[in-house]
Every structure is written in C-alpha cells, then in structure tokens.
Copies of this chain bind each other. A is one copy, B any other.
Amino acid sequence: MSRPTLVSLARELGVSRQTVSNVINAPHLVRPSTRQRVQEAIERSGYRPSAVAQALRRQKSSTIAMRMYPTSDGINGAVMDRFLHRVVEQAESMGHRVVLFTAADDRAEIGALRDLIDRDSIDACLLTSTTAGDPRPAELGAAGIAFGAFGRPWGEENTASHLWADVDGRAGTRAATEHLIDRGYRRVGFIGWPDGPGVGQDRLQGWADVIRERLGVDDPDEWLVRSDDGIVQGSAAATDLLRRGCDALVCTSDSFATGAFDVFRGRPDLDGVLPIIGFDDTPVARAIGLSSITQPVEAAATLLVHRLVARATGDDGATPIPSSRAVGSDGHLLTPLLQLRTLEAAPAPAPLSGRRPGAEAGSDRPLEPAGG
C-alpha cells in the first residue's frame, strides 16, 4: 500500500527498473509494446518519480529560490505579491518548485543562497529590488550560482552580463505625461521621491523629458515636489503644486496619488476633475478609481523564470516574452501600461487654449459630449 517505486513497478511487470525509467525519460528507446504495458502500469498505480531521489542523482532539484522581504510597505508589497505569484505559476508550468527564504540583508541573502545550493541543490534563484552598486550579481556570478534579477543593474545596464528584467519606469511616466498633455493639460506637475539614483530618478525623468520637449519648460523644478512616500505627503505636495498653478499631476507612487486625489476631490473649484496618474496600480488605486501606471510584473516573472529554467534544463525553446526592449547582453526593459480609470471616461480634450481642459468630465461614467 506504500508508494510505488521504479523497482516495485519493474518487479511487478517483470522488467528491469531501467526500462520503466526509460519509458518516462526516453520512450524512444523502448519497444512500443513494452512501452504501452509499462505506461499503463504507471498510470494505474499512480506512480510518480521521487523528486528527492532525482535531485540526489542529478544534483539539481528543479527548484528556484527567492528571498522574501518583510512587507515593509503594503504598496511595494502588492507588486511583489503579483510577481511572486506569477513566478510560482511559471515555475510550476515548467515542472519547478519555488522555495522562499528570508535574509536580513544582501550579505545574508548570498549566504542563504549558498546554503540552498549546497544543501538543497537548487537550480537558480531570483533577485529583486536591485540597487545601484548592488553586490549580489557579482558575488553570485563569482559563486557560479545561476540567477535572474527583477530590477536592472543600475548604472551598468549595458555592461552587466547577467539575466535581468526591469520595468521601464521612464517610459511609463512619459506616456502618462503625454497622455495628459494630449488631453490639453499644460501644467503637469510631478510628485517624486527624494533625490537619488534608481527607480525614483528613472520615473521622474520620463516626466521631465516630456515637460521639456512638449511644453518647453526649462526648469522642471518649478512643477516638481519631492517628498518621502506617503498619502499624507502626497496631499501636501498636491496642495503645493496646485498653488503653483499645476492643472494635472503625475506621481511616483500610488500613495502620493492617493493623497493628491483627496486634495483634488476636496476642491469644488476644480469641477471634480481629477487629472492624476499614479504608479503601480495598487489595489487602493483600483478601489478609488485612480488612474495609474501598471508595472508588467507578470511579464517580468514569466520572462525571468522561463529563461532561468530553460537555461538550466537546456530546453532552448523560445521565451514567451511580451513587448520588451533588449538592453546590454541579457537585459530586458518592459514597457508599463497606462491604466486609465477616471480619466479615460472623459470626452475629447478641449482645444489647446482651454483653461481647464478636462472640465467637462465629472464622473467615471461616460457623459454626453459637452456641447460648446
């Protein structure tokens, strides 16, 4: 009544264990009649090869490891959640498992990974939240540990040789800003994180580019407020930017956008128009009907896991990649999507001269075109 094994099956069928093994791993080596007989026995008995024994013999366990960060902020958390979920799905679809581990810092992470490699024979691991000067890629590379990174090698996009995928935040804010300008807004402000390299800078740049190119603004600082992340901070920043004459906002985060959203809603003089676009398409944004820039994290997960596993197994099938731009030797920049909610429902933009271009749009339901 215990679990069938290769040997028990083989004995029962009067063949050798290797024949049973071959039916599974190299069917072409087995005579069709035998193959079928074995095949049936396998199905009837519900035999499944022991992944553990396979791992011992093959010296790899079809497992991918990933570090789990404490859910410091729920917003980043939601994104990582989506990522992780897709990683597990993709890995499963390729016959791999995902194990989690925690680590206090990057050094500890590398140590933990060494351990997982040595003890559990994991095949590869995924890095997330890469930073400028991140020590992990180099160390893992030196240690011969296969890995993929969700997050670009900041500052070394073109020279780094490891597998990575990241979201093109700059393209995201660029699209958002252009969208607003296309609708007639002429004073698009930006709420960003404190100065520093990385994600924040990347996202700000997209906005700054467009502001400069399309609106001819020389000094973007005029419509820029930087602050630590947070809803309350977003409200304050929005108030400030309104005072400076901004008529629309792009935000580095949904937290900011949520705070800004509040401010706009509280001001009847704006006719309920909410030209705000956040970042990350958080559940909160979805809930309150805020437009936001969605990171294609699922695409990133699919890409990374597929490549990692394919590389590990030698399966050289084509990676099912969505639209992405190649960078460096094995980098991929994925284009985010503009998730329009309140905004999309608004009618066509007013003429360029319009003072408050979106004034005709009130709710999140399509209205009859505002007759002139």
Contact = CB atoms under 8 A, between A and B. Distances in A.
Given A71-B78, A289-B232, A98 B100 contact: yes
Nearest to A61: B52
A127 interface: no
B82 A78 contact: no
A245 B287 CA distance: 27
Contact of A51 (B89, B119, B289): B119
Interface in A164-183: none
Contact of A100 (B52, B75, B88, B230): B88
A290 B77 CA distance: 19
Contacts of A88: 68, 100-102
B101 A92 contact: yes
A287 B99 CA distance: 31
B82 A71 contact: yes
Q: How many copies does the complex hold?
A: 2
Contacts of A98: 99-100
Contacts of A100: 84, 88, 97-100
Contact of A48 (B68, B118, B255): B118
Contacts of A30: none
Contact of A102 (B52, B89, B115): B89
A133 interface: no
A3 interface: yes
30 contacts: A48-B115, A49-B119, A52-B52, A52-B56, A52-B121, A53-B56, A68-B85, A68-B88, A71-B78, A71-B82, A73-B283, A74-B78, A74-B286, A77-B77, A77-B78, A77-B81, A85-B102, A88-B101, A88-B102, A92-B102, A97-B99, A97-B120, A98-B100, A99-B100, A230-B287, A232-B287, A232-B289, A255-B287, A258-B287, A284-B284
